[in-house]
């Protein structure tokens, strides 16, 4: 992600994905892989969605639309802002980078995988056939212990490093640019 030339080479090799709708379904969330997929999909302007099991939750969507919806990094930022212990999530991401995360046996994974696949397939078919979906710009979360279904609006994060337009991200103040007032004349 930090080497722009290598990133563009990878994107060029994946150019054929430009005509597809991508689905990333997983039994555990890997934010680093999702961030990479997000950047590639934004560059190729490919719509995609993610579906995952995360503890007692199933997450379906949102469908990320490169033409104006929030991206995965916006979703991750908003989730982190709402966590009670954001440092624990950061430690988890560091453990992923270091390779310290190991999968534990998960005895009901077939049932959860089928439930996740069913809800994901419904959203994929809906989007593919109609161009819209219940999870376009929304995240469906299913809390398994009580089977509570919730839809969450996912809004763009102003100044997002991945999806904000350059004019928004690097823009100056509307009426005057404070930086010009602080410059010293030589």
Give the CATH number, domain containing residue 45: 3.40.50.720
Tell me the β-bridge partners of 150.
141
| pTM for this model (two decimals) | 0.78
Q: What is the mean pLDDT of residues 80-103?
A: 78
Give the number of domains in the chain: 1
What DSSP element (H or E) covers 165? Answer: none
Contact, 112 vs 37, CB < 8 A?
Answer: no
Distances (CA, A) of 90 to 28, 77, 95: 16, 12, 9
> What residues contact residue 63 under an 8 Å CB cut-off, 6+ apart?
47, 48, 49, 69, 123, 127, 133, 135, 136, 137
Measured between alpha carbons, how far is 141 from 122 in angstroms, rounded to an integer?
Answer: 15
Tell me the β-bridge partners of 106.
none
Name the token pair of 53: 């099991």
* pLDDT at residue number 121: 97
Instruction: State the pLDDT confidence band at 136, using cuts at 50, 70 and 90.
Output: very high
Is the model more confident about 64 or about 32?
Answer: 64
Q: Is the pLDDT of residue 3 over 90?
A: no
* pLDDT at residue number 96: 74
* pLDDT at residue number 63: 96
DSSP 15: G
Q: Which domain does 160 fall in, by range? A: 4-182
Instruction: State the pLDDT confidence band at 152, using cuts at 50, 70 and 90.
Output: very high
Measured between alpha carbons, how far is 125 from 172 in angstroms, rounded to an integer?
Answer: 43
Q: To the nearest whole number, what is the mean pLDDT of the chain?
A: 85
């Amino acid at each position: 992600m930090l080497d722009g030339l290598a990133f563009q080479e990878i994107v060029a090799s994946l150019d054929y994905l430009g005509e597809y709708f991508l689905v990333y379904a997983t039994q555990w969330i890997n934010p680093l892989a999702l961030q990479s997929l997000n950047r590639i999909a934004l560059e190729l302007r490919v719509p995609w969605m993610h579906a995952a099991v995360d503890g007692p939750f199933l997450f379906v969507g949102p469908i990320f639309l490169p033409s104006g919806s929030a991206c995965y990094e916006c979703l991750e930022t908003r989730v982190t802002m709402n966590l009670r212990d954001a440092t624990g999530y950061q430690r988890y991401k560091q453990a992923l980078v270091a390779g310290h995360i190991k999968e534990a046996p998960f005895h009901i994974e077939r049932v959860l995988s089928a439930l996740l696949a069913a809800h994901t397939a419904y959203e994929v078919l809906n989007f593919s056939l109609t161009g819209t979906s219940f999870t376009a710009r929304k995240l469906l979360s299913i809390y398994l212990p009580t089977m509570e279904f919730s839809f969450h609006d996912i809004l763009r994060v102003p100044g997002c490093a991945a999806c904000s337009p350059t004019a928004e991200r690097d823009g100056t103040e509307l009426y005057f640019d404070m930086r010009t007032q602080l410059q010293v004349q030589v």
